[in-house]
Amino acid sequence: MPSARSLWSAYKWRRRRQLRIARAFLKRRELAALADRTDQIAPGDVLAFTCLRNEVQRLPYFLCHYRGLGVRHFLVVDNDSDDGSGDYLAAQPDVSLWHTRASYRAARFGVDWMMALMQRHGVGHWCLGVDADELLVYPHHDTRPLPALCEFLEAEGEVALGALMLDLYPEGPLDEVAYRPGQNPVEALGWYDRGNYTIVRKPDTGALWIQGGPRPRMFFADRPERGPTLTKIPLVKWHWRYAYLNSTHVMLPRWLNGSVYETGGGEKLSGVLLHTKFLPGIDAKSAEEKTRRQHFGEPGAFDDYYDALTRSPDLWTASSTRYRDWRQLEAEGLMSRGGWG
């Protein structure tokens, strides 16, 4: 029989989940529809959800990549871009677009807005929650699109796919990167760290907490615990009872976090989010975000990090690895095909 303590803990976690769902419902009032094409969504469509600001250079390839994987509709929140992102997205026939000037930080870094759209349009669909600088790859993604992946996951009784966020960077100073809109960012950011990662299972949520890569070694060498969390759950068959607790890193109910990795000695199917943060303009964006203070829970705590990025450092080392394909990532243990062929 469950103890009083375990019952109280279960109640508190259930209450947290309910409050986040309610919060997302209220936050949808901050969203103004600019191009609502959600009537085009058909049963079984894979949907992509994202919040962004000033990402017009990334958008052509972002849309191309996910269209190629089988995403049928994009639901996007534009947080008051002034670089033409909104106009570009509004012209896309498979995009529904909402605009807001509200605080990204006060919306739990956009999660409330994304959840509001998932609750309204994503229930019963496989939903991708990704940033504009994240490109999902997974075993056989070059020959098996997302609908096939989702069909396999469902046959296995799974409702989510876990992924490692892998920082890509160029060889040389960041301000010397050449990139044109529509180009595959991997052509400009062709390198990554393959071995300096730590992994911990969080006892409270059951989530994996992975850190490492170029940002901790370059910017947080004296305090690696401040480095970014690299574990994400970007693909979920959405249910109205689900909620993201912390970005797309952690979900509620808590059993969802443990559902994306194997505890019995085997391996589960997983993916990698190629993180293209370090494209041209990262110095200007870093200076802006230092002023806006919208991206971290402790404003001012990451000023040194932003200052370092504005100086366009060189993240490459002799130990850096050039990215080739998903097979390479699987061989290095950064993703797994599990039982998927």
Residues 254, 204: Cα–Cα separation, whole Å:
9
Among the listed residues 35, 13, 47, 62, the one whose alpha carbon sits nearest the alpha carbon of residue 120: 47
Dihedral angle computed from the Cα positions of residues 57, 217, 164 and 138, in that order, rounded to the nearest 10 degrees:
60
Total length of the chain: 341
**DSSP designation for 119:** I
Domains and CATH numbers, the chain: 18-131 (3.40.50), 133-341 (no CATH)
Percent of the chain with pLDDT over 90: 79
Do residues 243 and 223 touch, judged by C-beta distance below 8 A?
no
How confident is the prediction along the chain (341 residues), in pLDDT tens digits per residue?
A: 678 888 899 999 999 999 999 999 999 999 999 999 999 999 999 999 999 999 999 999 999 999 999 999 999 999 999 999 999 999 999 999 999 999 999 999 999 999 999 999 999 999 999 999 999 999 999 999 999 999 999 999 999 999 999 999 999 999 899 999 999 999 999 999 998 899 999 999 999 999 999 998 888 878 877 888 999 999 999 999 999 998 899 999 999 999 999 877 678 999 999 999 999 888 667 666 656 555 555 655 567 777 788 888 899 999 999 999 999 999 999 999 999 98
Q: pLDDT tens-digit profile of 17-48?
A: 999 999 999 999 999 999 999 999 999 999 99
Q: What pLDDT is recorded for position 299?
A: 57
CA distance to 36, 67, 213, 334, 341, per residue, from 153 (Å) = 30, 20, 29, 19, 13
Q: Percentage of the chain with pLDDT > 70?
A: 94
On the CB side of 29, CA atoms within 13 Å amount to 5
Burial per residue of 38-62, b for 16 or more beta-carbon CB atoms within 10 angstroms, e otherwise: eeebeeebbbbbbbbbbbbbbbebb
Reading the block at residue 289, the tokens are: 């975000």
Under 8 Å between Cβ of 261 and 268: yes
- Distance of alpha carbon 64 from alpha carbon 139, whole angstroms: 19
Within the chain, residue ranges assigned H as helices are 4-27, 59-69, 85-90, 111-117, 146-155, 185-188, 214-219, 255-258, 282-292, 303-310, 326-331
